[in-house]
Structure 1
Amino acid sequence: MSDDGKPWTRRFRQIRVVEMLRATNVTPRMRRVTLGGAEAADLPLGPTLKLLIPPPGLGRLEWPAETRPLVWPDEALRPAVRTYSVRRQDLAAGELEVDFVLHGDGPAATWAATAKPGDVIGISRPSGREIAKAAWICVAGDHTAVPAITAMLETMPRETTGHVFMEVPGPEEEQPVSAPPGVAVTWLHARPDQSRLAAVFKDVPWPDHDDVGIWVGAESDTARSLRAYVRDVRGVDRRRFLVIGYWKRGMSETAYGEALDHDRDADYFAVALEEEAARHGHAHGGHRHHDGKHDHAH
């Protein structure tokens, strides 16, 4: 334990250990898990966080040895690392909510489906880029992006106008949304291999001004198509759009993150560096080194 009584300050990347407090199914395939405990207090606000998920049946988190390079425990003990959207934070109660899409047998979905109150999971400090504040927005995402989109709509200025498209497997996966009155929310129904997001997005009438904010979270091919459209066809400034591949057909999440970094490009990291410098009140020179090992955010 550190001198200030905060055990996470001496852990790998200052990961905090929190507990599952309760869970409920928002839709048949979307499970909301509330996390809390002593180490969830005084967390900063942010759109995404890393989850360190213990292997099934282990019930505790194992840490890497403090060496260079890091030496992780045996693979049977090593936690899975995933990045998820923060659905909601209650700073007063020291709680945060994370929504999980229940699909397949991946470690995050399996943990969310089976965890009981008191089960532990590791979390990083919330961080990440957010949609640019703008008079007009256009947001699109598939099932995995619904938690991020519904969270951003709840905190969006009420005078915002624009369009939001969320594509889910069927009407049973729609959920209540709190959006500004001038933002039209459209639910699309399609299988993941028959997505209509890109086509629908490109049909949206564009405003006659530059005060726009664009956010997309979708399968890799859709993300690449829409990034090119927003940047090259619409000419949107890189500070005003955020397009991320959440997953790639035929690849595991880990493989996608390590091989293609979820299709983040140089513009993404340049803007992230500028935003970080602005938050700290100074500018950075030179180039930011990036290790290419980020998981996507749900």
Structure 2
Amino acid sequence: MIMKKQEQISKNSNILQQNDHMRNLENLELTIHSISRPFPRILRVRGKINTNQPDLWEKPNLAVRLELSHATHSARISRVYTIRSFNLDTHEVEIDLIEHEDESPAMKWVHSAEVGSTIQIIGPRPHFVPDFEEKKHVLMFADETALPALYSILQHWQNNIAADIFVESHDANICEYLPNQENVQIHLLQRAHQNQAGKMGLLLKAAYQFHHTDHITVWAACERNEARAIRKFFLDEKLMDKKDVMVTGYWNLGLSSTILDQVRLEYYQKHLDAGKTLESFDDLDMLV
């Protein structure tokens, strides 16, 4: 039964190699130069890639898919992570992983990885960033899993843009992870150690305090159910334009990433079968 499930996952994963998904992406080898722990629950992998398109890797909030199957000697398994930074001179990338207790494929890989070892990555895929063109006030809502995306976006920040950023974490010092920018206020929403991430609704409560939403734009990345609720609040209750509400869910409370990826692949296949493309694929429309 387990073998059949793994075969099905591998079969569904094949759609990730098709042209619709692979457009403008590189399949590269990442050679690990160092593994560090800048914060208690963050493992940072720094490594070099041999890209022929370095300009693609300079943009903010880029996602890559780590091919974990070879590293963990299992059926085809991959995970998506955000590039924290890219060094144009050395072609080094930094990828931060939030450490959790269960030995997931990603945790197995990073706990066993060694300097000099390699892993295949596919990317970079640009994810959304706040629209700076209209000079609107930016509201950002993020949990720990979105810290690399926040860091990357803030590194490319426009100085004349004001923002309020709400970060949920149990780590009292986690805001030190983020670079300071003029006109950007960072607010820590600290949960107790025993409280589970994504369960307290702290980011949603922070969103509820904004009664007037004229001339603002929203960016959020967190647990899927909370992300969906934040999007619903700004779109349905505050009637904001969809282009000003950029929300994604990185993980699902009570659901493993393996199962979530399987559901996502099946949903994406149905999306393609309906004649649609990746550009119109909205992950939060997938109800799990």
The whole-number CA distance in structure 2 between the counterparts of 1:159 and 1:200 is: 24
The answer for unaligned runs of 5 or more in structure 2 is: 1-16
Q: Which residue of 2 aligns with 1:203?
A: 209
Given the alignment, which residue of 288, 291, 297 partners 2:276?
A: 288
Q: Could you tell me the TM-score, scaled by structure 2's length?
A: 0.74
The answer for unaligned runs of 5 or more in structure 1 is: 1-11, 59-75, 270-285
Q: Using a 3 Å threshold, how does the CA distance of structure 1 residues 109 and 292 change in structure 2: closer, same or farther?
A: farther
Q: Which residue of 1 aligns with 2:223?
A: 219
Given the alignment, which residue of 241, 246, 255 partners 1:242?
A: 246
Q: Does 1:17 align with 2:29?
A: yes
Q: Does 1:132 align with 2:133?
A: no
- Within-5 A mapping of 1:140-179: 140-179=141-180
Q: Which residue of 2 aligns with 1:8?
A: none
% identical equivalent positions: 20
Letter in 1 for 2:170: P
Q: Which residue of 1 aligns with 2:7?
A: none
Cα deviation per residue 1:204-263 (whole Å; 9 max; x = unaligned)?
364543xx33111111221111011111122222222211111111111132234357x9
Q: Which residue of 2 aligns with 1:275?
A: none
The whole-number CA distance in structure 2 between the counterparts of 1:20 and 1:234 is: 46
Asked if 2 retains the 8 angstrom alpha-carbon contact of 1:258 and 1:292, the reply is: no
Q: Which residue of 2 aligns with 1:80?
A: 77
Q: Structure 1 residue 148: deviation in Å?
A: 1.0
Given the alignment, which residue of 84, 108, 122 partners 1:110?
A: 108
Asked if 2 retains the 8 angstrom alpha-carbon contact of 1:20 and 1:35, the reply is: yes
The whole-number CA distance in structure 1 between the counterparts of 2:262 and 2:248 is: 14
Asked if 2 retains the 8 angstrom alpha-carbon contact of 1:131 and 1:241, the reply is: no
Higher fraction of helix? 2
Number of aligned pairs? 242
Q: Does 1:51 align with 2:60?
A: no
Letter in 2 for 1:288: K
Q: Could you tell me the TM-score, scaled by structure 1's length?
A: 0.72
Q: Structure 1 residue 122: deviation in Å?
A: 1.0
Asked if 1 retains the 8 angstrom alpha-carbon contact of 2:175 and 2:186, the reply is: no
The whole-number CA distance in structure 2 between the counterparts of 1:293 and 1:124 is: 20
Asked if 2 retains the 8 angstrom alpha-carbon contact of 1:257 and 1:292, the reply is: no
Q: Structure 1 residue 185: deviation in Å?
A: 0.2
Q: Using a 3 Å threshold, how does the CA distance of structure 1 residues 80 and 287 change in structure 2: closer, same or farther?
A: closer
RMSD value, Cα = 2.9
Q: Which moved more, 1:104-113 or 1:87-96?
A: 104-113
